[in-house]
Amino acid sequence: RISYVNGRYLPHAEAKVHMEDRGYQFADGVYEVCEVARGHIMDMSGHLDRLDRSLGELAIAWPLERRVLPAIMREVVTRNRVRDGLVYLQITRGVAPRDHAFPAPSTRPSLVVTAKRSDPQAARRRAETGIAVITVPENRWDRVDIKTVGLLPNVLARQKAKDAGAQEAWFVDPDGTVKEGASTNVWIVTADGHLVTRPADTGILRGITRATVFRIAEKLGYTVEERAFTVEEALKAREAFVTAATTVVMPVVRIDDKPVANGHPGTVALSLREAFFDVAE
């Protein structure tokens, strides 16, 4: 495996940043994960737009010109012979003596890019079974719209799901409405066949897969409502599913050990999943 670190392509085992990197010490950095399908990096421009926004919100400079990044990502994909899998990239505020305030302006942000293969058949089998989710109280900060590497609440929530035999955890507000998963956006299909997903400006990450699935759904003739929904509504829904670059569209068949509808993946989720691989760039 080959990874990119600050201008160099290195064997993965040698792909290292310094212990005083601010990503390591303060989680002072941002990241993106892109899906690779049949050799194509999906929604690249959407991911780079969001990266640009995340960097801007945290006042982290681009470590290189934005227009250079796609070539580096493609190079890492090619060098690792990834046909189906993921590209991960991370930019931190760089290496500097530990001090909470920003380091000297001359500090160069760190950039790492890695890629790995995944098994599309295994993912499809998973989608045909569906996943179980648990719900956890929302306990994250109010800037989850920034894709930072500060993910401890997400880590703890996902481990709690795993311990419960589930695959994802949904953060739920005190009013009972579902925010999003630990690393996914959430959707339901109502009894009258409408898709519902939480507005992206209400305490969630604006998912790139969410936007693509939104477009695909409208193209397929579905009505998509952007509004909050409760766990109770999700349990009564015809279908529930999650979206992310890592899972694409993944049916949810159990919430806190209670079945969604008949407890099997729904046709809307599965058809959106299929269409995603045809439509996305």
Kindly list the catalytic residues: 147
Cα distance between residue 258 and residue 280, in whole Å: 33
Q: Work out whether 244 is an interface residue with ligand PDD (CB under 6 A).
A: yes
Q: First CA to last CA across the chain, in angstroms?
A: 26
* Stretch of 66-74, 121-129, 156-164, 179-187 lying at the interface with ligand PDD (CB under 6 A): 179-187
* Stretch of 104-112, 121-129, 130-138, 205-213 lying at the interface with ligand PDD (CB under 6 A): 205-213
Smallest distance, ligand PDD to C-beta of residue 118, A: 12
- In the set 69, 188, 205, 249, which binds ligand PDD (CB under 6 A)? 205
Query: CA dihedral in degrees (43, 14, 83, 215; nearest 10)?
Result: -10
Distances in Å between the Cα of 220 and the Cα atoms of 211, 217, 240, 272 are 14, 5, 18, 9
Q: Work out whether 41 is an interface residue with ligand PDD (CB under 6 A).
A: no
Q: Work out whether 246 is an interface residue with ligand PDD (CB under 6 A).
A: yes
Question: 116-120 contacts: CB < 8 A, separation 24 or more?
Answer: 116/1, 116/80, 116/82, 116/85, 116/86, 116/88, 117/80, 117/81, 117/82, 117/83, 117/84, 117/85, 118/84, 118/85, 118/86, 119/84, 120/37, 120/84
- In the set 92, 114, 148, 183, which binds ligand PDD (CB under 6 A)? 183
Q: For residue 103, what are its two tokens? A: 């380091």
Number of residues located near ligand PDD, criterion CB under 6 A: 14
Asked if 215 contacts 272 with a C-beta cutoff of 8 angstroms, the reply is no
* Stretch of 3-11, 14-22, 104-112, 201-209 lying at the interface with ligand PDD (CB under 6 A): 201-209
* Stretch of 16-24, 103-111, 122-130, 243-251 lying at the interface with ligand PDD (CB under 6 A): 243-251
Q: Toward ligand PDD, which CB reaches closer, 23 or 207?
A: 207
Distances in Å between the Cα of 3 and the Cα atoms of 9, 18, 191 are 6, 16, 47
- In the set 48, 95, 131, 208, which binds ligand PDD (CB under 6 A)? 208
Smallest distance, ligand PDD to C-beta of residue 215, A: 13
Q: How many CB atoms lie within 10 A of CB 68?
A: 11
Q: Work out whether 118 is an interface residue with ligand PDD (CB under 6 A).
A: no
Q: Work out whether 245 is an interface residue with ligand PDD (CB under 6 A).
A: yes
Q: Toward ligand PDD, which CB reaches closer, 96 or 131?
A: 131
Give residues in contact with ligand PDD (CB under 6 A).
33, 180, 183-185, 205, 207-210, 243-246
